Amino acid sequence: MLRNAVTRSLAQARTYATESGSQALPVLHGLDGRYATALFSAAQKSSVVETVERDLNRMKALLQTDEKFRFFVETPIIAREEKKAGIKDILTKGGYSAVTKNFFDVLADNGRLDQTIKIISSFETLLLASRGLVSCTVTSAKELDGATLRRVEAILTKSNLLEKGQKITVTSKINPSILGGLVIEIGDKTIDLSVSSKIAKLNRLLTETI
């Protein structure tokens, strides 16, 4: 029955929109968005959202630390049935929940195991939204101190980028190639305040005027 529930959720995922408490969940597009929405829906209906969250955290960690496993999941050269049997064995031995096992069974059946990392990321977006949180990534050329991050968070919180009742959870990243300034990704929006972006714009203007 759980497998059928996952399959039905996947079939409905193109138009699925739900609410958790007072927080409306975003409609995610793309293949990974549809699968993540289907999984979130199945987890909600079985009241195991937090259990599935833990399962996916374990799966994500495994994919990030075990190169052989990641190759097995993502390579197209391994037969679909072999992948299906392999992932089933890993999830069973690992004690993963029934909803998670059935979801990955559907993924394997559909030949979509290579989308696992993207699906987990989309599931995390839905999870944050269900808790009234919006993910924000602040990228800088050098590490930012805590005070700077708090100022950025305060400015974004007061901006019109958030809906009423939403809060942000900030993650910082370092990317020397932006040279300076910041690149802020909040929800599905990107604010590029980097030096590299300004140089690129200047170069385009110079090219157009020559």
Burial code of 126-157, b = ≥16 C-beta within 10 A, e = fewer? bbbbbeeebbbebbbbeebeeeebeebbeebe
pLDDT mean over 143-156: 88
Whole-model pTM?
A: 0.69
Sheet holding 167-174, edge to edge: 167-174, 133-140, 181-186, 189-194
Q: Is the pLDDT of residue 163 over 80?
A: no
pLDDT digits (tens, 9 = 90+) for 126-145: 998 888 888 888 999 999 88
Q: Is the pLDDT of residue 57 over 70?
A: yes
pLDDT digits (tens, 9 = 90+) for 89-128: 999 999 999 999 999 999 999 999 999 999 999 999 899 8
Q: Is the pLDDT of residue 188 over 90?
A: no
Rounded (5°) CA angle 96-102-105: 105
Residue 37, classified by CB atoms within 10 Å of its CB into exposed (0-12), middle (13-18) or buried (19+), is buried
pLDDT > 70 in the chain, percent? 88
Q: Which pLDDT value is given to residue 18?
A: 42
Query: CA quadruple 78, 84, 90, 91: dihedral positive or negative?
Result: positive
With beta carbons less than 8 A apart as the criterion, state whether 23 and 129 touch.
Answer: yes
**What whole-number distance in Å separates Cα of residue 22 and Cα of residue 159?**
21
Closest C-alpha to 137, from 149, 129, 148, 124: 149
Q: Which pLDDT value is given to residue 24?
A: 64
Backbone angles phi, psi at 170, to 5 degrees: -100, 135
CATH T-level fold of 2-129: Peroxidase; domain 1 (1.10.520)
Query: CA quadruple 111, 115, 120, 123: dihedral positive or negative?
Result: negative
